[in-house]
Chain A
Amino acid sequence: DGGITQSPKYLFRKEGQNVTLSCEQNLNHDAMYWYRQDPGQGLRLIYYSQIVNDFQKGDIAEGYSVSREKKESFPLTVTSAQKNPTAFYLCASSTLRLVDTQYFGPGTRLTVL
């Protein structure tokens, strides 16, 4: 089955710790995205990548970092510099066409205690 996997589904961390969220896709998509969603709100773009070893900041990149060493993988690190890291994090992928369907993973709910 083709799709996007995110792990873990729930993650708890202490304040001040960095944490890395996993995102893997087997759809052979070139573009991958990370979004943040707060309760009752829409999605906000953190980072996106169109090609291996290259990525672009989205609207709320501060306090986050990403890497794209393989086409299938786009991990997100939430650093201790992110002031309000507790949120629902969603990974997506698509082709490079400017207008195309984005396929989303099931999300990771991060709680920082």
Chain B
Amino acid sequence: DAKTTQPPSMDCAEGRAANLPCNHSTISGNEYVYWYRQIHSQGPQYIIHGLKNNETNEMASLIITEDRKSSTLILPHATLRDTAVYYCIAGGSNYQLIWGAGTKLIIKP
């Protein structure tokens, strides 16, 4: 299973787009990229997942590079409630997810 690398922390101004990078250079062809976030001391919340194509939902957009070695999660208009730890996970199925330490995103007023 592929391991992911994320910066430990990032800041973003409220109302601006937050762009969270993730490297997954060893990802295999059948492994998806998932993003979850965890607000302090709560259970993680699913955000989005993708395989090859860019994906968008009501929460975020996921941009995956053509070689699939990296991706970016975009929160288009960050609010204070988006302050959380964001996890990028590469895995073939729900039973094979390897969670790293994530990126602590702090939204500043």
Indicate with 1 or 0, residue by residue over B36-58, a CB within 8 angstroms of chain A CB atoms: 10000111111001000000000
- Which stretch of A12-20, A43-51, A62-70, A79-87 is in the interface? A43-51
Tell which of A40, A56, A92, A99 touches B101, judged by Cβ atoms closer than 8 Å: A40
- What is the interface residue range for chain B against chain A? 20 to 34
Number of interface residues of A (CB under 8 A): 27
Q: Is the CB of A104 within 8 A of B87?
A: no
Of A42, A88, A103, A109, chain B has the most CB atoms within 10 Å of the CB of A42
Which chain A residue has the least Cβ–Cβ distance from B95?
A: A48
Tell me, rounded to whole Å, the shortest Cβ–Cβ distance linking A48 to chain B. 6
Chain B residues whose C-beta falls within 8 Å of the C-beta of A94 in the assembled complex: 94
Chain B residues whose C-beta falls within 8 Å of the C-beta of A40 in the assembled complex: 101
A53, CB-defined interface residue at 8 Å: no
Tell me, rounded to whole Å, the shortest Cβ–Cβ distance linking B25 to chain A. 18
Of B43, B99, B100, chain A has the most CB atoms within 10 Å of the CB of B43
- Complex Cα–Cα for A56 and B93 (A): 14
Q: Is the CB of B87 within 8 A of A42?
A: yes
- Complex Cα–Cα for A44 and B100 (A): 9
Residues of B within 8 A of A (CB): 32, 36, 41-46, 49, 87, 92-95, 97-102
List, sorted by A's number, 26 A–B pairs whose CB atoms are closer than 8 Å: A4-B43, A40-B101, A42-B87, A42-B98, A42-B100, A42-B101, A42-B102, A43-B44, A43-B99, A45-B97, A48-B95, A88-B41, A92-B43, A97-B94, A98-B93, A99-B32, A99-B49, A99-B93, A99-B94, A101-B46, A102-B46, A104-B43, A104-B44, A105-B43, A106-B42, A109-B41
Top 4 closest A-B pairs, CB basis?
A42-B99, A104-B43, A98-B93, A43-B99
